[in-house]
Amino acid sequence: MNIIGPDALVFGVDDVAACAQYLTDYGLSPVDVSAEGGRFEALDGTAIVIRRKDDAGLPPPMATANLLRETVYGVADAATLDAIAQELGRDREVTRRADGSIASVDDAGFALAFQVTVRKPLALPAEASNAPGAERARGVNVPAVNPDAPVRPRSLSHVVYFVPDAQAAEAFYVERLGFVCSDRFTGVGPFLRPAGTHDHHTLFLIQTPPFMKGCEHFTFHLGGPSELMQAGTRLVEKGYQSFWGPGRHRFGSNWFWYFNSPLGCHVEYDADMDLHDAEWIAREAPMSADASQLFLFQHRERWMPGGPPPKGAAA
């Protein structure tokens, strides 16, 4: 199955205005937004879609506090769509929509849709870093720091589900949709990637009690760690609450910074994720703080050496 990754996540929310402001402040571009909801796009066209939670056009809600109503996967071509429809149609309903996409549900009860991907090719530079002994990556007299640089999410990276049976959920994505496990936390769940991408994961499954089932977080890729730090700092300065980070994960190696959100889940920035192919051998480790992060920073307000200590610091 040539599935590339998530094209969009669709939420049914309590407060459309608050969610719209949050996603705009996060850096996504509003498209056709009204009091009923709208679409918020990254540079490649992947997106978060919000609707009022009572919108009759949404898939039914879960019996938990989860606000995610549908995960929309982008695929390479119409032949892949037909193959998915045939495969899932063996034991569950598959609906063909007017726009050509198909809709169904996974074994854990998450609503899924599949469409020929909307992702647009990007031709953007990555962050350049100069280091002794390496070929120069950034030219002479080219500063790396620009406090006014625009920072925009480039692409929807991954989504994380809380599921009551991670083993069964993994089996569905591996056996029915061709995902593979990149790494796993023992007794917690796998990092999964579909056949159409080299990204370390586009889906992470976490074993939880049934009442927690839903979306734990989603994230978009940025252009590098400096962009992540800059974007996260700006979000803090707008008054949003940092949840975890900034730091760098071990599995996937991606830089991360998580924030609380009005979408009923955490929202992350990430950058510089590992890429893998069929030669990669999945690793496994017990879940712990040391296994989850290589290092972790704590955000503080700006200060200068010799000046007063930042708020909350010991005198």
**CATH of residue 48:** 3.10.180.10
Domain range for 218: 3-120+153-296
Q: Are 223 and 154 in contact (CB under 8 A)?
A: yes
Other Cβ atoms closer than 10 A to 230: 20
**pLDDT for 159-216, tens place per residue?**
999 999 999 999 999 999 999 999 999 999 999 999 999 999 999 999 999 999 999 9
Burial of 208 from C-beta contacts in 10 A (0-12 / 13-18 / 19+)? middle
Under the banding of pLDDT at 50, 70 and 90, the label for residue 309 is low
Residue 234 belongs to a domain? yes
Residue 128 belongs to a domain? no
Between residues 237 and 304, the one the model is more confident about: 237
Residue 313 belongs to a domain? no
**Average pLDDT rounded to a whole number, residues 276-280:** 97
Residue 58 belongs to a domain? yes
DSSP 252: T
Report d(CA 224, CA 129) in Å as an integer. Answer: 10
Give the per-residue pLDDT at 37.
Answer: 98
Give the per-residue pLDDT at 288.
Answer: 80
Question: In the chain, how many domains are there?
Answer: 1
Mean pLDDT rounded to a whole number for the chain: 93
Residue 181 belongs to a domain? yes
Burial of 79 from C-beta contacts in 10 A (0-12 / 13-18 / 19+)? exposed
Residue 145 belongs to a domain? no
Predicted confidence (pLDDT) at residue 147 exceeds the cutoff of 80: yes
- Closest to 292 (Cα-Cα) out of 218, 170, 206: 206
Under the banding of pLDDT at 50, 70 and 90, the label for residue 306 is low
Give the per-residue pLDDT at 83.
Answer: 98
Give the per-residue pLDDT at 292.
Answer: 77
Name 244's Cβ contacts closer than 8 Å, sequence gap at least 6. 256, 257, 258, 266, 296
